Amino acid sequence: MATEVSRGDSQAFAVVGRARRRNRAQRWWRFVQEWPVLPVMMLMVLLILALLAGTPWWGNVTGFNPELPSLSDRNAAINSDADLKTYERAVARAEKNGDPIPARPHFWLGADQFGRDILTRIMKGAQISLIILSIAASVGMVFGTFYGLAAGYFGGLLDEILMRALDVYFSIPFILLALVAVIVFGQSISVMLVLLALLAWPPFVRNVRAEVLSLKERDYVAAARATGASDIWIMWKHIVPNVINTVIVIATLRVGQLILAEAILSFLGAGVPPPTPTWGAMVAEGRDYLASAWWISFFPGVMIFLLVMSLNFIGDWFRDKFDPRLRNSV
């Protein structure tokens, strides 16, 4: 009898344990669904890599300068405890055959066709890309928001002129515009900033204008007008706070598109001039060596994929949280 009771107790404990584990797993899954944990972690890793690039600690870890163009300069940075003779023979064979410089164990992600460390260049490329994208996205967000705010609030002839100007701008092929700008002004970070800012602002205009057209008819806006408030005061106090959620969502999603645009321009040779590394340029540099040295293009491509995917997930999360229609439907 005692044996049966103890056996029943053990079975009951096992059932309770499974139920608790299942509840913990369900709570964790709900937490992951409610908060963008994994995308934020990916962004934090990329941000840390970007912050470390250019610091003395970064140079001590990787041991390589991402912009050293020659094999002799790069060899000077190789640790002396490596099997340098064996590596030099492999380098000589690669140079004789016209193949990419082979990776050493010290190269955690391999080396490119000039013997430059891929990890080092990815870290430096993250820094360059984030700086360019932050400035371009901020400029495009501010300009596009005020453009849409003016068109939607004042309406009439001003709205017609501004929106027709936007239609004309949309009719210009961006890639063609970028290539012409590079031919005229040359490759530089400044040209890249201007091009990405020109690409960033249009989506803000249409969405902000649509929100403003609805908001300016609200009762509290009419009451503010009745009290003699100026248009600038009404826009700043009543309109802008109600469109800021839309602006944040668009900005988050737009940054992912700007990353792809920067990668495409760099791939086409219209990006930041070499030897400064960017992820798009690294993918382009490795396309001729995909069969023999796939890692040159693979790892920068993976970083582009992870960053864009993370930003899209975070943008969707912001949209679900800030859009009252989606929030009330859940």
- Per-residue pLDDT band for 26 (boundaries 50, 70, 90) equals low
Report pLDDT for 264: 81
Q: In the predicted model, is pLDDT for residue 42 greater than 50?
A: yes
| Residues sharing a CB contact under 8 Å with residue 132, sequence separation 6 or more, in sequence order | 189, 192, 193, 196, 262, 272
Q: In the predicted model, is pLDDT for residue 128 greater than 60?
A: yes
Q: In the predicted model, is pLDDT for residue 96 greater than 60?
A: yes
pLDDT digits (tens, 9 = 90+) for 137-196: 888 889 999 999 988 888 888 888 988 998 888 888 888 888 888 888 888 888 888 888
* Residue 132 CA from chain centroid, whole number: 11
Q: How far is CA 218 from CA 221, 222, 225, 226, in A?
A: 5, 7, 11, 13
Report pLDDT for 249: 79
Report pLDDT for 225: 84
Cα(299)–Cα(222) distance, integer angstroms: 56
Q: How far is CA 47 from CA 36, 56, 122, in A?
A: 16, 17, 12
Mean pLDDT over 262-281 rounds to: 79
- Per-residue pLDDT band for 322 (boundaries 50, 70, 90) equals low
Which segment, 8-12, 164-168, 185-189, 228-232, is predicted with the most confidence on average?
Answer: 164-168
Report pLDDT for 8: 55
Report pLDDT for 2: 47
Cα(322)–Cα(240) distance, integer angstroms: 15
DSSP letter (8 states) at residue 235: I
Tell which wins on pLDDT, 80 or 131. Answer: 131
Q: In the predicted model, is pLDDT for residue 111 greater than 50?
A: yes
Tell which wins on pLDDT, 42 or 302. Answer: 302
Cα(94)–Cα(83) distance, integer angstroms: 17
Cα(290)–Cα(258) distance, integer angstroms: 26
> How many Cβ atoms sit within 10 Å of the Cβ of residue 264?
17
Amino acid at position 235, single letter: M
- Per-residue pLDDT band for 6 (boundaries 50, 70, 90) equals low
Domain 118-329, CATH 3.40.47.10 — does that match?
no
> How many Cβ atoms sit within 10 Å of the Cβ of residue 3?
7
- Per-residue pLDDT band for 56 (boundaries 50, 70, 90) equals low
Report pLDDT for 271: 76
- Locate 53 and state its tokens: 């690039």
pLDDT digits (tens, 9 = 90+) for 246-258: 888 788 778 878 8
Tell which wins on pLDDT, 328 or 93. Answer: 93
- Per-residue pLDDT band for 103 (boundaries 50, 70, 90) equals low
Report pLDDT for 57: 53
Cα(144)–Cα(151) distance, integer angstroms: 11
3-state secondary structure string across 174-208: HHHHHHHHHHHHCCCHHHHHHHHHHHHCHHHHHHH
Q: What is the mean pLDDT of the chain?
A: 75
Domain ranges, ordered by start, for the chain: 118-329
Question: Quick one: residue 149, left, alpha or beta (phi over 0 = left, psi -120 to 50 = alpha)?
Answer: alpha
Which is nearest to 115 in space by CA: 86, 90, 97? 90
Instruction: Read off the pTM.
Output: 0.68
Report pLDDT for 83: 43
